[in-house]
Amino acid sequence: MSKKLLLKDAHIEGIRYFETYRKQGGYTAAEKALKMTPDEILEEVKASGLRGRGGAGFPTGMKWSFLAKPEGVPRHLVVNADESEPGTFKDRYLMEFLPHLLIEGMLISSYCLGSNVSYIYIRGEYSWIPDILEEAIEEAKAAGFLGKNILGTGFDCEIYVQRGGGAYICGEETALLESLEGKRGNPRLKPPFPAVKGLWERPTVVNNVESIAAIVPIIDITGAEYAKIGVGRSTGTKLISACGNINKPGVYEIDMTITVEEFIYSDEYCGGIKDGKRLKACIPGGSSVPIVPANLLLRTVNGEPRYMNYESLADGGFATGTMMGSGGFIVLDEDQCIVDHTMTLARFYNHESCGQCTPCREGTGWMYKILKKIEKGEGKMEDIDLLWDIQRKIEGNTICPLGDAAAWPVAAAIRHFRDEFEWHIKNPELSQTQNYGLANY
């Protein structure tokens, strides 16, 4: 059984409220942190090996150490709660059931970074959660854990919740900052990075909800102890939101030492494939990461078991591996049509493109149109090569990673399931009524 750090108290009735959270030891990590210096906290975070839980997996301690500290210029912590990646809903779970874990993590992080005004930017579709967060903020304030002169330390901290307007692109950190400033959520060219010029051109750290919540157990048990959990550079625990054709969709906390096979088939996690069907493929890190067929999902190219961690999932690179990404684990059974699935994703990225760069604005639309044609049985063999060519011309040629996120699913689908694309083209009469997965898999 995986060790639980974030969700250990999630089952306790009333844990959403300050009184219950406090009774379970809540805010003791904050009390401990406020007796430390900001540099000591930073060292603990670095020692923990925590990697950003939003998708990129960049070391959090290193990110914090890049924060510029010009004299007299305010700094900010912004929590990215714009969780819009298809298949990902673990931050929603944390905020809905354990809001004080996030607030406590923000207090410690704000103290470490020197942010007196911090923000939670939350996706507009999570319409009921801002009220939960604002209630928790008020409770923490009434108990002296937010506001002026927190616990007599002289440190002031306010936290504000900002609702997004429902655009996927605002999950990209610079688009989020633009939106938070009241502008259209267009990603900015980098450099300058937010650590130097972020919110209102002030030094800013933007971190994912789960990353900031993880600061609480890191301070609680120390960074060194946190680093002992997990394996290699995949330290600590990770929340996975599992969905698709499985028996037990939900949010699970794992310690990154379990195999993918165990995660899918064990009753402790996904409980196997629904209706006893066979596993066809999986997208283990949210819709932007490459899809992998069952054989390469459960075993690496060398025949080793694949594990639920950053390194093992990426083993083999883009040719045979995938990525941990945001932890949105989407399972596809033998009946799923890969062309249809890829087309749905292409439509999503086309719709969500902000339109600033030509390869993304035009390329995502072209990919969607070609995939739609193939799926309808109106495609030609050369369309597959055309799709491949377009995705290659998008990748690495755009302002923000949405372009890559749109290109990778198409590349991986063609790489691993080219025969299925060809089947649609060769069998136009069957393309709409049957799918290759059912007939041949």
Q: Which is nearer to ligand SF4, 173 or 375 (CB)?
A: 173
Closest distance to ligand SF4 from the beta carbon of 188 (Å)? 9
Q: Which is nearer to ligand SF4, 325 or 403 (CB)?
A: 403
Candidate list 32, 248, 361, 376; residue touching ligand SF4; CB under 6 A: 361
Q: Which is nearer to ligand SF4, 85 or 333 (CB)?
A: 85
Of 25-33, 158-166, 348-356, 408-416, the segment contacting ligand SF4 by CB under 6 A is: 348-356
Q: Which is nearer to ligand SF4, 207 or 398 (CB)?
A: 398
Of 52-60, 78-86, 277-285, 352-360, the segment contacting ligand SF4 by CB under 6 A is: 352-360
By CB under 6 A, is residue 166 in contact with ligand SF4?
no
Candidate list 45, 169, 256, 371; residue touching ligand SF4; CB under 6 A: 169
Rounded-to-integer distance, Cα 247 and Cα 245, Å: 7
Of 218-226, 240-248, 356-364, 407-415, the segment contacting ligand SF4 by CB under 6 A is: 356-364
Closest distance to ligand SF4 from the beta carbon of 222 (Å)? 39
Q: Which is nearer to ligand SF4, 83 or 178 (CB)?
A: 178
By CB under 6 A, is residue 353 in contact with ligand SF4?
yes
Task: Give the C-alpha distances (Å, rounded to integers) separating 192 from 65, 69, 155, 309.
Answer: 16, 15, 29, 31
Of 66-74, 100-108, 116-124, 351-359, the segment contacting ligand SF4 by CB under 6 A is: 351-359
Residue whose CB is nearest to ligand SF4 in the complex, by number = 360
Candidate list 298, 330, 360, 413; residue touching ligand SF4; CB under 6 A: 360
Neighbours of 139 (CB within 10 A): 20
By CB under 6 A, is residue 99 in contact with ligand SF4?
no
Neighbours of 279 (CB within 10 A): 22
Q: Which two tokens stand for residue 25?
A: 């030891």
User: Residue 188 corresponds to which amino acid?
Assistant: R
Q: Which is nearer to ligand SF4, 144 or 355 (CB)?
A: 355
Candidate list 354, 384, 390, 414; residue touching ligand SF4; CB under 6 A: 354
- Draw the binding track, 383-412, toward ligand SF4 (x: CB under 6 A; -: no contact): ---------------xxx-xx---------
Q: What is the contact surface with ligand SF4 in residues (CB under 6 A)? A: 169, 187, 353-357, 360-361, 398-400, 402-403
